[in-house]
A = this chain, B = another copy of it.
Amino acid sequence: MSSSHSDIEKVVSAIIEKVKPRREDYERLRQVYDTVSQLLTECLGPLNREFVISLQGSVAKDTFIRGEVDIDVFVLFNPQQVDETWFGSEFVNIVTECFKRRNYEVRLEYATHPYVTAVVDGVEVNVVPAFRVENPKKIISAVDRTPFHTEYVVKKLSPEQRDHVRVLKLFLKAWNIYGAEVAVQGFSGYVTELLVIAYGSFDRVLKAATKWRPYRTCIDIEGHYPDERRCIERFRDSVLVVVDPIDPDRNAAAAVSIKSFALFKLLSYLFTIKPSLEFFDKPRTIVPSTWSRDIHDRLRAIGSCLIHLVFKVRKPIPDAVWGQLRRVERVLLNELKSLRLSVLAIDSWVDKSLSRAIVAIEIADCDKEFEVHKGPIALDLDNALRFLIKNANALAGPWLGYDGRLYCIRKRKYSAYEAVERIAKKLASLSVLELERVESDIPTIANHDFVEWLYGFVFRKQFERIARIMEST
């Protein structure tokens, strides 16, 4: 079950061939940066404030994937001269106007504070205001750390390793665990870079990952902590700890969820056993014309059903929307469980324009009016008594099962749909989402992207290609 080193090398070389930028890519990016830099100098000059224009992000670090790039241009100010509110009240307006005057497409975006995105020569350029500080201990806003990150990564990564970062990024992207945003809860670009710095190469990162243990692994490149135990204690709630080399109090991998962690670990294991180019393909769900019938047949096969919460998005801030959607999922899971309804799958979809969101739930045994209800063990006398009294009118039982527990068959309090509707009504304080309706079956939404997503949600063939590759192991 072990692959030879040359198998891995072959795959990695092929992927490098695909992700490594060409000379013309660099030239084009350089031109875009020069254009933006010049424009900003012109527009910001008259303000009479010190600033330094600086290239940041994956272009500065040369770890971007060919064809998948935006440029981060930081404008670093003297914190003595401006403050963060000034970024929002003045800077973004000046920059927006500046780009608009030259007929560039431009929009306002929000991270820790607002910034401007312009499209220049087909390339997205993020113009981010930040403070210029002496060292990482003195940062004012979170983005002020970025120049130090860039400096560190540039210093540490060899040219070969930069290609390995690109390979790792593509691997993560293919499985939708690239990025620290709430929608993904995966591995940021910076974490990807740190992993290659820590382990040396793409394949060594994957080999190491197969040994990671959730809440028990600390990657501390600069040795800021005396030992792993002390490091883990400091970041108790983190699934994975990658100590930020320029700020030992920060876990660069704090966004990684247990699900992303488990998926990456499993994929790493599968890849090291059977390296294959297919690990790097983003699966496209091909929705057959019979999709609606397929979904119904699939649900009927085990007697489950689909229920959807359809929301209008009030504020198109991705992290806020996804944060609330995940919260809705958690609440639904817990409340449905306490009503003894078994959730087979739950996930959320948001349309591209960020105007509508849907939480989809698949519930098992929806068609049943009655349920087998498992009670306490008979030896737990108080609870056994309560169970007997409460279920005196059950359809069958209460009876003492061969496992020593009490059971009965009783009417369900709520149907699956009723239960979801009740829980949905209780979900009041959703600031960025507004519940429009609860729909069962396939919701009446004319959106091909949603249908594609729903088809994937119902069939959940996430590992199909990989399983087929592994079969020949």
Bound-state CA distance A192–B205 (Å) is 70
A273 interfacial by beta-carbon distance below 8 Å: yes
Produce 1/0 per residue, A438-464, CB < 8 A to B.
Answer: 000000000000000000001111111
Produce 1/0 per residue, A273-298, CB < 8 A to B.
Answer: 10000000000000000000000001
Closest beta carbon of chain B to A405's beta carbon, Å: 9
Bound-state CA distance A258–B259 (Å) is 41
Is the CB–CB distance between A385 and B470 below 8 Å? yes
Which of B263, B273, B460, B467 is the one whose CB lies under 8 Å from A378?
A: B263
A392 interfacial by beta-carbon distance below 8 Å: yes
Is the CB–CB distance between A391 and B460 below 8 Å? no
Question: Which applies to chain A's interface (DSSP): helix, strand, loop or mixed?
Answer: mixed
A388 interfacial by beta-carbon distance below 8 Å: yes
Which of A4-12, A145-153, A264-272, A415-423 contacts the other chain? A264-272
Closest beta carbon of chain B to A144's beta carbon, Å: 36
Bound-state CA distance A181–B178 (Å) is 66
Which of B210, B379, B396, B401 is the one whose CB lies under 8 Å from A298?
A: B396
Is the CB–CB distance between B263 and A400 below 8 Å? yes
Which of B213, B269, B399, B471 is the one whose CB lies under 8 Å from A462?
A: B399
A391 surroundings in chain B (CB, below 8 A): 467
A398 surroundings in chain B (CB, below 8 A): 460, 462-463, 467
Is the CB–CB distance between B468 and A392 below 8 Å? yes
Closest beta carbon of chain B to A335's beta carbon, Å: 14
Q: Which of A210, A344, A396 has the most CB of B within 10 A?
A: A396
Bound-state CA distance A378–B257 (Å) is 14
A396 surroundings in chain B (CB, below 8 A): 298, 458-461
Closest beta carbon of chain B to A414's beta carbon, Å: 16
Closest beta carbon of chain B to A207's beta carbon, Å: 12
Closest B-chain residue to A409, C-beta based?
B302
A365 surroundings in chain B (CB, below 8 A): 303, 365
A397 surroundings in chain B (CB, below 8 A): 459-463
Is the CB–CB distance between A270 and B385 below 8 Å? yes
Bound-state CA distance A342–B460 (Å) is 25
A384 interfacial by beta-carbon distance below 8 Å: yes
Is the CB–CB distance between A259 and B399 below 8 Å? no
A369 surroundings in chain B (CB, below 8 A): 301
A371 interfacial by beta-carbon distance below 8 Å: yes
Closest B-chain residue to A347, C-beta based?
B402
Is the CB–CB distance between A460 and B399 below 8 Å? yes
Residues 283 to 332 of chain A near chain B (Cβ within 8 Å): 298, 301-303, 329
Produce 1/0 per residue, A371-407, CB < 8 A to B.
Answer: 1100001110100110011011001111111101001
Is the CB–CB distance between B462 and A378 below 8 Å? no
A407 surroundings in chain B (CB, below 8 A): 344, 460
A262 interfacial by beta-carbon distance below 8 Å: yes
A458 surroundings in chain B (CB, below 8 A): 396
Closest B-chain residue to A460, C-beta based?
B399
Bound-state CA distance A463–B263 (Å) is 48
Is the CB–CB distance between A301 and B395 below 8 Å? yes
A200 interfacial by beta-carbon distance below 8 Å: no
Is the CB–CB distance between B266 and A462 below 8 Å? no
A265 surroundings in chain B (CB, below 8 A): 378-379, 381
Bound-state CA distance A460–B463 (Å) is 44
With A262-B378, A404-B259 as given contacts, are A388 and B467 in contact (CB-CB < 8 Å)? yes
